[in-house]
Structure 1
Amino acid sequence: MKDPFPPCPEAIVRAVTPICDALGFETLPNHFHEVIGAFLLYHFTNVYLSPLISPLLFPKTYRSFNKRNRINWDIHVVSLVQSTLICIISLYAMAVDQERSEMDVKQRVWGYTGLLGMTQAFGAGYFLWDLMVSTQYLGIFGPGLLAHAICALCVFSLGFRPFVNYYAPTFLLYELSSPFLNFHWFMDKLEMTGSTLQLVNGICLLLVFFSCRLVYGTYSSFRVGSDIYSAWQNPPHDIVEQGRTVPAWLALSYVTSNLILHFLNFYWFGKMIDALRRRFDSAKSTSSSPNKEGSVAGEDEVSIEGTDLKIPASSQIHQGGVRQRK
């Protein structure tokens, strides 16, 4: 299926093609404008849109934040926008791209459609923004998150070879759980910790996370690993003639990264259950004691792609939390 967006201007295609060819990113010139467009969308949301709208919608809360918490809030707004947008795009691609639905093993590894390229571009645009913010706030995020941003952008960019474009919307649907994670964090800041609405949201979070990342994610990880192994061991004759076989470094790096991040999902799921249980135990304990406040702590650990599930410091109990990373 064709890319629904207008084509990249010819002048930009000519300018970036030599660099893309040198990197082996054959399809990137056709989607370069979408990568930059997605990056600018998230940057605009972070720097202008959230600081403009948030004090209008939540004047008391947002204006009471110090600089660190405003950074945190604005980044969670970007995460909410990004996860909602990328899930809509991914579901659309999976529903309407007939070429994708008819792909065999060979095409699932080397195949390409304009719509899948656009989906890949919006994902890469977010990781590019992630890299910029992780660098800008290195003192807050630390070198670990910067390294994660670099690796995520590098691995995701491999899709422009093209490589396993078929699975781009599949793994981007991991983001279906992110809106619930962000809602959970926003409810803390709006003094809704332990509320019925937060409990319902927490249940939805666990169900969606379990279904998308653990059940569907396990199935998809097995499929992509099987397809890559088959392509690596038995490349079709026409692919060999074109020099587009899957090198060992590419197969091993992709599969290893996928497995590590996938097993982390199981770890995060256990931490989320523990954190949510502690959160509501803390809320009950706080409500029974008139001397303790139910609000969240003023200083939070900043996260780009997810949100903390930390217990408020005012509860004076162990803070069990999790940061979601892709």
Structure 2
Amino acid sequence: MLLFTPLVDALLAIPAPPGWETLVTGKLQSSGLVASEALLGNLHSILYITAFYQTVFVLGARMLLPRICDWRIGLKLEEERDLKVEHKYSRAQRARSLAEQASMHLVSFLQSLIVLDLSIAFLASPERSGAVPYPDASSRIFGEARETQVVCIFAIGYFIWDALISMAYSTLPFVMHGVVSTSVYLIGIKPYLQWYAPVFLIFELSNPFLNFRWFGTKFLPPQSQCNGKGKNLLKLLRQLLQVNNLVFLVTFFAGRIAWGWYQIGALCWDFYLVSGDARFLPFDTGVIVAGNLVLDVLNAIWFKTMLGVAIKTIAGKKAQPETHVKAC
């Protein structure tokens, strides 16, 4: 693994701006707003990562995707004219909106690959740094290692971006998702239960397939608008999309339900084992446990809904609109 090591190392190697310690981290520490040395020492990297994801978004929305989005909206307009459907937005407005949505999914896809790369590599070989850093409940809750710290840094950087971009392009629930997720990984970097940062980011296992599904649904044209070799290629792509959808369901169940429910149990047991320790933080513990339990219940509800849609589709029945699942 660690396919993204050059990118990760490059972002983490960017030095803090001149005067950063005096003007920013020093004042945050002296005012008592931030006590965590790990957060203060990596705050500039977190902001660079947020800026990196915003740069990817802008490049996608303004340079990489506009032409293909305009082409797809053109096909959509032809289909709507045939069906005599009227739309209140112009072609340019619809193409720009589609490019922005697609670029958000592009960033989500890239982020999931990066954090999965970091998380799986660590969980598969936690002894890479020379010794297993989390051998017991106490170290899993109160310990830290550079590998898990880096996972938290990238998660915080992305979720800050996610909250901000959702304010501009999405709805309040998605803004809250970004804010809550940022808070959770800020707790992790303190350090507090840092071991569980890569553990719970395994939830992202289904995210690449969710994004593939979104791109396939939005960009593959109707069969009626293709002919000859194009129709055969489109048929193959739609078959591949169905395979992707099946893999998405399997990875969603494996990562978010089977793994998720098991790990929340393990986390609660670790909390119980260290609850008498002076470093134990009841409020932070409550936030983490409550947040994970809510998310696990929502994941089970979403999976049931998606499974019902899949069964109806396979049976040839008209499926009800599928519940949207946040790509994060």
User: TM-score range with shorter-chain normalisation?
Assistant: 0.7 to 0.9
State the partner residue of 1:16.
25
* 3-state SS of paired residue (1:66): helix
1:156 aligns with 2:185: yes
Structure 1 pair 102–108 and aligned structure 2 pair: CA distance change class (3 A): closer
| Structure 1 gap ranges (5+) | 286-314
Q: Which amino acid letter does the alignment assign opposite residue 109 of structure 1?
A: I
Structure 1 pair 71–37 and aligned structure 2 pair: CA distance change class (3 A): same
State the partner residue of 1:125.
157
Structure 1 pair 67–158 and aligned structure 2 pair: CA distance change class (3 A): same
What's the offset of the Cα at 1:199?
A: 1.1
Structure 1 pair 62–126 and aligned structure 2 pair: CA distance change class (3 A): farther
* 3-state SS of paired residue (1:164): coil
Maintained 8 Å contact 2:105/2:211: yes
What's the offset of the Cα at 1:254?
A: 1.2
1:238-257 deviations in whole A, cap 9, x for unaligned?
xx3xxxx2232122121111
In 2, Cα distance between the equivalents of 1:81 and 1:50?
Answer: 15
- Provide the TM-score with structure 2 as the length reference: 0.76
State the partner residue of 1:296.
none
| Structure 2 gap ranges (5+) | 1-7, 75-90, 223-234
Aligned equivalent of 1:271, options 286, 295, 305:
305
State the partner residue of 1:318.
320
What's the offset of the Cα at 1:95?
A: 3.2
What's the offset of the Cα at 1:72?
A: 1.4
1:37 aligns with 2:48: yes
Aligned equivalent of 1:6, options 7, 13, 35:
13
Maintained 8 Å contact 2:119/2:198: yes
State the partner residue of 1:196.
239
State the partner residue of 1:225.
268
1:61 aligns with 2:93: no
Superposition RMSD on alpha carbons, in Å? 2.7
What's the offset of the Cα at 1:101?
A: 5.4
Number of paired residues?
Answer: 280
State the partner residue of 2:213.
184
Aligned equivalent of 1:110, options 115, 129, 142:
142
1:152-180 deviations in whole A, cap 9, x for unaligned?
21222111221111011111111110110
Q: Which amino acid letter does the alignment assign opposite residue 164 of structure 2?
A: M
Alignment of 1:171-320 (within 5 A): 171-191=200-220, 195-232=238-275, 234-235=276-277, 240=278, 245-278=279-312, 318-320=320-322
Structure 1 pair 13–209 and aligned structure 2 pair: CA distance change class (3 A): farther
- Provide the TM-score with structure 1 as the length reference: 0.76
Maintained 8 Å contact 1:39/1:129: yes
Maintained 8 Å contact 2:108/2:327: no
Percent of aligned pairs with the same amino acid = 23
Structure 1 pair 70–325 and aligned structure 2 pair: CA distance change class (3 A): closer
In 2, Cα distance between the equivalents of 1:71 and 1:30?
Answer: 33
In 2, Cα distance between the equivalents of 1:146 and 1:249?
Answer: 23
Maintained 8 Å contact 1:55/1:62: no
In 2, Cα distance between the equivalents of 1:120 and 1:129?
Answer: 14
Larger radius of gyration: 2
What's the offset of the Cα at 1:320?
A: 2.6
